Amino acid sequence: MESSFLSFPEINLELLTKDLNIDTKPLWGNLNAWQMIEHLSDAIMVSIGEIEAPVFTDDDKVAKIKRKFIDSDSPFRKDFQSPIFRGDGIVFRNPTFKDAIHELNAYVAKFVAYYEQNPNKTNSHPVFGPLNKIDWERFHSKHFTHHFRQFGSIN
């Protein structure tokens, strides 16, 4: 995997979020910073089986799409739309933005613990289908990079 992606789960959220606040404007897209942070937690919840997401990709296309987006060195497109998260009408789960960041930190740790206990487990992504630990690490690496670039936390 290309080194221009953040390393997951060895991620420094304190550094990545130090200049973020609820008023930070994205460089593209319609998420605000709080939505983005909770969205990243949501994705980890899917990867550890806390949220079961239906797979929207046709079975005969999953392998091709996974190769193109997960197994390649290509970043996610700026205009990529998640089939299960649009960013509109969201109700925040955390009482404050800082609490959302703490939750995300906790979910990164839960991811590590989950796959230490379940090294061969797969959980389905709504676009890419069943992913194992290494696939999820690649996905989260690209996903975190995509969103922290969206908010100017990294180049």
Q: What is the mean pLDDT of residues 52-79?
A: 91
Rounded to a whole number, what is the largest CA-CA distance in the chain? 43
Assess whether the previous peptide bond of 119 is cis (omega < 30° from 0): no
Taking the C-alpha atoms of residue 72 and residue 70, their distance in angstroms, rounded to an integer, is 6
How high is the pLDDT of residue 80? 76
CA distance 23 to 73: 32
User: Looking at 23-27, 52-56, 120-124, 150-154, which range is the least confident one?
Assistant: 52-56
The pLDDT, as a whole number, for residue 33 is 95
Residues 6+ apart with CB under 8 A from 86: none
Average pLDDT, the chain: 91
Q: What is the pLDDT of residue 2?
A: 47
The residue count for the chain: 155
* CA–CA gap between residue 143 and residue 137 (Å, rounded): 10
In tens, the pLDDT along 42-51 reads: 999 999 999 9
pLDDT tens across 71-127, in order?
999 898 887 777 666 555 567 899 999 999 999 999 999 999 999 999 999 999 999
Q: Measured between alpha carbons, how far is 153 from 147 in angstroms, rounded to an integer?
A: 9
For residue 88, the model assigns a pLDDT of 57
What are the tens digits of pLDDT across the range 95-111?
A: 999 999 999 999 999 99
User: Is the pTM here over 0.85, yes or no?
Assistant: yes
pLDDT of 1:
44
Quote the Cα angle for 35-126-145, to 5°.
50
CB count, 10 Å around CB of 41?
21
For residue 119 the two structure tokens come to 């090294």
Distance (Å, whole) CA 108 – CA 140: 10
Contact 26, 98 (CB under 8 A): no
In this structure, the strands spanning 129-131 and 123-125 are: antiparallel
